[in-house]
Chains A and B, each alone.
Chain A
Amino acid sequence: MVYVIRRLLQALFLALVMSFLVFAGIFAVGNPVDILIDPDATQAERARLIAQLGLDRPFHQQYFIFLGNVLQGDFGNSFVYNRPALGLILERMPATLELAFAAIMIAVVLGIPLGLYAGLRHGSVGSQAIMAGSILGFSVPNFWQAIILIMVFSVALGWFPVSGRGEVGEFLGIRSSLFTLNGLHHIALPAINLAVGHLALVIRLARSGTREVQAQDFIRFARAKGLSESRIVLVHILRNILIPIVTLVGMSFGGLIAFAVVTETIFAWPGMGKLIIDSIRLLDRPVVVAYLIVIVVIFIILNLLVDLLYSLIDPRIRLDGARQ
């Protein structure tokens, strides 16, 4: 319990530091008045706007006002949409989470069987093909791979739509395009694109895990006992390779949200990632700041959860570090 509280305090401190860094960075970049004001405005009008926005106050005062507003969920209005920036981001979050979820499902559902196969039939042609494919999956830059997917499956073959989220269905109160056929059709390419890197990782983990577990005594004992091959693989091996894969999946969720920036931009997926890129291009400062703070908070929470889960899954891991 002491550990949890200490981690929570650390996380809060980190969030505070990051908010300061983001604010200081934005502060250093230049004067928003230059963007907001009519270029023909007189010096007096300019000074009035600066005073009105509080930009004439000292840096620390501005920061505390900013922090106070942020704690109340007020990041200011978007220059482009003229709506609260935080609302804009939260509104797009489900689309991003849905994409990340679909990508993880693809990586796990395809990756574990492929990795198991590559581990069990080590050295076979199929196994080598799988491993070569996974190396390629690592090397191909994500954005270019997305373009190739579009070229092949949308333009040349015409199987999948190029962009958008499709129809959104509702199931158990959750709205997601995973619940409609049209939505599934739309999410296929972006989800595959986002999944490839993690698919390669899952394959490698499953393969090396299988090879390691296979050589252990309890597997040899199970064989000697005359258990069927399918029972050995599906129960005894699978269960033992799952732990590192589960941790990987937990840890990579954050990475997927970050990488979704690329996928969303290319497939015009209406999530947070596309919003931030558009906002950077349009110099929509409140949205950029709000996104950065939201993403930092998400990351701090994810890291905290993963650390706590670690100690739950594997009691040997003591995170205090004090007692060994």
Chain B
Amino acid sequence: MSATDTQPPAPPPGAAPLAPRAAAPERPAARVIRDFAKSPLAMIGLAMLVIITAAAFLAPWITPQNPYDLRSLSIMDSRLAPGEVGFSGVSFWLGSDGQGRDMFSAILYGLRISLIVGVVACTSALFLGLSLGLVAAYFGGRIDTVIMRLVDLHLSFPPILVALILLAVMGRGLENIIFALIVVQWATFARMARATALSERQREYVEAAQSLGLSGTRILFGHLLPNCLPPLMVLYTVEIASAIALEATLSFLGVGLPATQPSLGLLIANGFQFVLSGQYWISLFPGIALLLLIVAINLVGDRLRDVLNPRNIT
């Protein structure tokens, strides 16, 4: 990625802004990867993330059953404890739920939905927040005031409340929850984008671009945007984790995803009714999967924060 125009350490001052392309654009990315790999904890997080994502997307091929194909379910297999062998001879390593669904398969399918919702919502929020933040920073004045007032107002309400209000009004559904998550998250991105862009705007390369007579939009998207990306990427990773957690919470409460799209939150909610009778696995294992996913993303995000921080570049 060309996000690091200003980062190569070598060029003499003054030359850097005008001729960055020539200075081997591969290098900053290589440095980021090398620095990232120095932390074993972050590598464990990355490995976990890769395995979880791969398992979630390969779910139809690697799970023992399709948990939403009713023909493959048998009510005789319902609520089996972990490790028990079912009626049809399949063993249920993580147990089965009230409908005789294999928990392992259900978790992988659920992870897939949770991941898709989190990533789609967060990416859209990133684009929305980024554009508004950049516009606010670049144009300043009244546009800036209006956008930032809106952001401040937004951030004074807790995310779960905003999402709950929206879903109470719109009802549950895949599109609705993605919309709610975007509404919840854009303001965080907008604030970060504006703050970064404001400090980047002072730099010489913007002045240089202006004196070359480039248009406002060209400077905004061609020059400011790439340089604002690194801190936003860190925020983006961490926000995916919180989007997934929020979606799980809302689905657990019954206002998020409908029963036809069972994410991890819904699986945990289904298991909750059996917790009191000691059948812990229906809630426990999806929860562990959710926790591992969130921790893995946070570990990666934490390391990215250290690696991409311009102050740490030597």
Counting contact residues on chain B (CB < 8 A from A), the size range is 35 or more
Does the CB pair A141–B160 fall under 8 Å? no
Give the 9 A-B CB pairs with smallest separation, nearest first: A25-B169, A144-B287, A258-B161, A258-B158, A255-B158, A141-B245, A143-B252, A280-B168, A147-B283
A205-244 interface with B by 8 A CB criterion:
none
Q: Which of chain B's residues have a CB closer than 8 A to the CB of A259?
A: 158, 160
Q: Which residues of B contact A29 (CB under 8 A)?
A: 169-171
Q: How far is the CB of B1 from chain A (nearest CB, A)?
A: 28
- The verdict on A22 contacting chain B, using a C-beta distance below 8 Å, is yes
Contact with B along A240-265 (1 / 0, CB 8 A): 00000000000000110011011001
Q: Would A266 and B272 count as touching, CB distance under 8 A?
A: yes
B154-174, CB < 8 A from A: 156-158, 160-161, 164-171
27 A/B residue pairs, CB under 8 Å, sorted by A = A25-B169, A29-B171, A139-B298, A142-B249, A143-B248, A143-B249, A144-B283, A147-B271, A147-B275, A147-B284, A151-B275, A151-B280, A151-B283, A154-B276, A155-B275, A258-B160, A261-B160, A261-B164, A262-B160, A262-B252, A265-B253, A266-B272, A276-B164, A277-B255, A280-B167, A292-B165, A292-B168
CB A290 to nearest CB in B, in angstroms, measures: 12
Q: Does B291 contact A (CB under 8 A)?
A: yes
Q: Mark A1-37, 1 if CB is under 8 A from B, else 0.
A: 0000000000000100000001001101100000000
- CB neighbours (8 Å) of B268 from chain A are 143-144, 147
B278→A141 contact, CB < 8 A? no
Complex interface: chain A residues within 8 A of B275 (CB): 147, 150-151, 155
Q: Smallest CB-CB separation from B166: which chain A residue? A: A25
Cβ of B294 within 8 Å of any chain A Cβ, yes or no, is: yes
Interface residues of chain B: helix, strand, loop or mixed (majority): helix
Convert A130-170 into 0s and 1s, putting 1 for each residue whose CB lies closer than 8 angstroms to a CB of B.
Answer: 00000000011111100110110011000000100000000
The answer for the CA separation of A143 and B290 in the assembled complex, in Å, is 12
Q: Does A281 contact B (CB under 8 A)?
A: yes
Evaluate contact between B161 and A295: CB separation under 8 angstroms. Answer: yes
A180 within 8 A of B: no
Q: Which residues of A from 266 to 310 have beta carbons under 8 Å from B? A: 266, 276-277, 280-281, 288, 292, 295, 299, 303
Q: How large is the interface on A (under 10, 10 to 19, 20 to 34, 35 or more residues)?
A: 35 or more
CB distance from A141 to the nearest CB of B (A): 5
* Distance from A292 Cβ to chain B, minimum over Cβ atoms (Å): 6
Across the interface, which residues of A come within 8 angstroms of B158, CB to CB? 254-255, 258-259
B287: nearest chain-A partner, CB-CB: A144
Residue of chain A at shortest CB distance from B159: A258
Please, how many angstroms separate the alpha-carbon atoms of A139 and B301 in the complex? Answer: 13
A262 contact from B166, B170, B253, B295, Cβ within 8 A: B253
Point out the residue from B164, B171, B254, B295 that lies within 8 Å of A139, measured CB to CB. B295
B257-279 CB contacts (< 8 Å) to partner A: 265, 268, 271-272, 275-276, 278
Instruction: Kindly report which residue of chain B lies nearest to residue A251, judged by CB atoms.
Output: B156
Question: In the complex, what distance in Å separates the CA atom of A216 from the CA atom of B204?
Answer: 38
| Closest Cβ–Cβ distance, residue A63 to chain B (whole Å) | 15
Q: Measured between alpha carbons, how far is A148 from B168 in the docked complex, in Å?
A: 27
Q: Is residue B153 within 8 Å, beta carbon to beta carbon, of the partner chain?
A: yes
B169, A155: Cβ atoms closer than 8 Å:
no
Q: Given the complex, which residues of A lie within 8 Å of B252, measured CB to CB?
A: 143, 262
Of the candidates A28, A140, A150, A281, which one forms a contact with B254 in the assembled complex, judged by CB atoms under 8 Å apart? A281
Q: A262-B249, A299-B156 are in contact. Are A277 and B254 (CB under 8 A)?
A: yes
Whole-angstrom distance from the CB of B15 to the nearest CB of chain A?
A: 38
The chain B residue with its CB closest to the CB of A142 is: B249
For A266, the chain B residues whose CB sits under 8 A away are 272
- B312 shortest CB reach to chain A, Å: 19
Which of B160, B287, B298 is close to A148, meaning CB atoms less than 8 Å apart?
A: B287
Most buried by A among B167, B249, B294: B249
A11 CB → nearest B CB, Å: 11
